[in-house]
Chain A
Amino acid sequence: MDNPTDLKYLATHEWVRIDTDVATVGVTDHAQDQLGEIVFAELPDVGDSFSQGDDMCNIESSKAVGEVHAPVSGEVIEVNETLEDEPEKINSEPYTGGYLLKIKMSNPNEVDSLLDAAAYQATLG
């Protein structure tokens, strides 16, 4: 699966879709492939705040725990509740139905520090 070019990325395999001051966050196709079948997503609560780079939540596959870092600072305004019953959506639709949460950004300038699709692809070697 190609990494969509309209998204921004972290080298730690998170993606972000920026819509004015709201960032939708998920994990990349590469990340879900490395973890294997996701069986549980431990998402934060709406209202939780994070700084860029914080451990924000965990997604767990049958064999491993993957830490998800906050790509930008801000407050969680929505979590993807469908993942509670269908965490496997992170595998099947990593860039769409398998998104994790939405953050209201407190510092939109942080977006400049994120990678574009080509730069992220380059980190995968």
Chain B
Amino acid sequence: MVDPRKTPLYDMQVKMGGKIVNFEDWMMPVKFEGVIEEHKWTRQHAGIFDISHMTEFMVEGPDAVPLLKTLMTNSVGIGDFKAQYNHMCYPDGGVIDDLYIYREREDKVRIIANAQTLETDGKDFNWIKDHIGDFDATITDLSLDRARLAFQGPETMKLLNPITKADITQIKRFNWIYTEVTPSPTSPTSQETIPIFLSRTGYTGEDDFSPALGSFEISCDNKHAEALYQTFLDTGAKPIGLGARDSLRLECCYALYGHELNAGITTIEAGLGWVVKEKEGTKFIGQEVILKQKVEGAPRVSVGLNLLDKGILREGYKIFKDGEEIGYVTSGTFAPTLEKTVGLAIITPEHRAVGTELDVQIRKKMKKAVIVKTPFYTRGRNI
């Protein structure tokens, strides 16, 4: 058996008291002070997330964009230094992974995608590589050479801007830059500056398009990972574990691969039709099924649930309407900002209307839930 992997920040996180768990065969902190506390801190202040377990690739060559257009559901037709959320799908429309593409030039596009287990290691990389064919393009796996961090929360601009060379308040949402960070005096480096990739994107919902309230995702060379992490923490932002990362994304109804998305769920069934764009002159893999579902409707739909009875929704719980099984919960949690039990579910479309009451089987008991509008949380506006 191969041991689970560790990110370049593992030792620091252990020293800081992170409670380490195995997530997708990565030894990662699930929490530092506490999931709920970290969740609320991120909503009110700012938090630093180690997301180095995720994967990072560079697609280069004159055909980088044409290649990606055949694999990605979204337009891919973005300008330089823009980011775009995408799905890669199998021919039957099932999702291989959800990811971001970051175009640097027409012939250079970065990809940041989900972590893989030891068993699925190389899934996205090989899928892209195996479809290069006659395209004049190459793909390089940067995953293990680089560390990835997220700096999220309403105080991010205030804390991060003073230590970046660029004025990051000028970066619009879904844009990115290369810049440099001045390391803090306590950070373990002799470098005068740390070069970073900095993207105004995130998985917490803490961004409202205004210059003052932006959150970022960052990647840097492994050798600077500890110094960058320490520098970020020295701004006053707190380290946040995977537990709060999950509850923060769930309040915003962001899909998590392996739960809302998988090889057996299409982009349309997951309620992400906006990620699908027909592209002139190019078909993407899975297009036939996905476009048909987008027009005619999918056999299942994704909905948001609020549990009316006491309890917690968990993945896999069965959902019933008038005694008939109609679907299951894909993710659930106690939502700290809302102080409600919420969840996402995949059900048959006829019962999808907001306000529909359903039964969720929790162990031996049936509990009442109601379909609610999604997302559950939008910055400054709750359900």
A15 to B267, CA, bound (A): 48
* Alpha-carbon gap, A62 to B246, bound state (A): 10
B31 at the interface (CB under 8 A from A): yes
Q: What is the CA–CA distance of A103 and B311 in the complex, to the nearest angstrom?
A: 23
CB <8 Å contact, A42 and B310: yes
Counting chain B residues whose Cβ lies within 8 A of the other chain, the interface size class is 10 to 19
Given contacts A36-B243, A39-B334, A40-B334, contact A62 B310 (CB under 8 A): no
On chain A, the residues within 8 Å of B35 by CB distance are: 36-37, 61-63
Partner of A40, one of B243, B246, B311: B311
Assembly CA distance A114 to B61 (angstroms)? 69
Q: Chain A, 2-37, contact with B by CB distance < 8 Å: what is the 0/1 string?
A: 000000000000000000000000000000000011
Q: How far is the CA of A42 from the CA of B341 in the complex (A)?
A: 14
Q: Which residues of B contact A116 (CB under 8 A)?
A: none
Find the B residue at minimum CB distance from A64.
B314
Chain A 42-62: CB-based contact to B (< 8 A → 1; otherwise 0): 100000000000000010111
Distance between B182 CB and nearest chain A CB, rounded to angstroms: 36
Query: Does B36 have its Cβ within 8 Å of any Cβ on chain A?
Result: yes
Contact partner of A37 (CB less than 8 A), chosen from B36, B246, B310, B363, is: B36
* Closest chain B residue to A40, Cβ basis: B312
For B31, the chain A residues whose CB sits under 8 A away are 36
Cβ of B215 under 8 Å from chain A:
no
Q: Which residue of B lies closest to A58 (CB)?
A: B363
The reply to whether the CB of A84 lies closer than 8 angstroms to some CB of chain B is yes
- A-B contacts counted at CB < 8 A amount to 38
Knowing A62-B333, A63-B243, say if A39 contacts B310 (CB, 8 Å): no
Closest residue of A by beta carbon distance from B35 = A62
How does the 8 Å CB contact mask read for B1-30 relative to A, with 1 for contact and 0 for none?
Answer: 000000000000000000100000000001
Task: Give Cα distance in the complex from A102 to B31, angstroms.
Answer: 32
Q: Nearest A residue to B246 by beta-carbon distance? A: A63
List of B residues within 8 angstroms of A63 by Cβ: 30, 35, 243, 246
Task: Return A50 CB to nearest CB of chain B, in Å.
Answer: 14
Q: Knowing A36-B31, A37-B34, A37-B35, say if A62 contacts B243 (CB, 8 Å).
A: yes
Give the shortest distance, in Å, between A79 (CB) and chain B (any CB): 13
CB distance from A44 to the nearest CB of B (A): 11
Query: How far apart are the CA atoms of A58 and B314 in the complex, in Å?
Result: 13
* Cα separation A58 to B365 with both chains bound (whole Å): 13
- CB neighbours (8 Å) of B333 from chain A are 62
- The one of A40, A58, A62, A65 that contacts B247, using a Cβ cutoff of 8 Å: A62
Q: Indicate which residue in B36, B311, B363 contacts A62 across the interface (CB closer than 8 Å).
A: B36
Residue of A with least CB distance to B334: A39
Q: Report the minimal beta-carbon distance from B21 to chain A, rounded to whole angstroms.
A: 9
A42 to B334, CA, bound (A): 14
How far, in Å, is A65 (CB) from chain B's closest CB?
7
| Cβ contact of A84, chosen from B247, B310, B334, cutoff 8 A | B310
In whole Å, how far is B268's beta carbon from the nearest beta carbon of chain A?
Answer: 30
B19's nearest neighbour on chain A, judged by CB, is: A36
Report the minimum CB–CB distance from A42 to chain B (whole Å).
6
Residues in chain A near residue B312, CB distance under 8 A: 39-40, 60, 65
Assess whether B311 is in contact with A42, with CB atoms less than 8 Å apart: yes
Query: Across the two chains, which residue of chain B brings its CB closest to A62?
Result: B35
8 A Cβ contacts from A50-98 to B? 58, 60-63, 65, 84
Complex contacts, B247 vs chain A, CB 8 Å: 62
Give the nearest-CB partner of B31 in chain A.
Answer: A36
Taken together as a complex, chains A and B put the C-alpha atoms of A62 and B40 apart, in Å, by 13
Bound complex: CA A84 to CA B310 (Å): 9
Chain A positions within 8 Å of B311 at CB level = 40, 42, 60
B17 nearest CB across to chain A (Å): 12
Closest to B363 in A: A58
Given contacts A39-B312, A62-B334, 19 further A-B contacts (CB under 8 A): A36-B19, A36-B30, A36-B31, A36-B35, A37-B35, A37-B36, A40-B311, A40-B312, A40-B334, A58-B363, A60-B311, A60-B312, A61-B35, A62-B36, A62-B333, A63-B35, A63-B243, A65-B314, A84-B310
- Enumerate the 6 nearest inter-chain pairs by beta-carbon distance, A residue then B residue, closest first: A39-B334, A62-B35, A60-B312, A37-B36, A40-B312, A63-B243
- Which residues of A are in contact with B by a Cβ distance under 8 Å? 36-37, 39-40, 42, 58, 60-63, 65, 84
28 of the cross-chain contacts (CB-CB < 8 Å) are: A36-B19, A36-B30, A36-B35, A36-B243, A37-B34, A37-B35, A37-B36, A39-B36, A39-B312, A39-B334, A40-B310, A40-B311, A40-B312, A40-B334, A42-B310, A42-B311, A58-B363, A61-B35, A62-B35, A62-B36, A62-B243, A62-B334, A62-B336, A63-B243, A63-B246, A65-B312, A65-B314, A84-B310
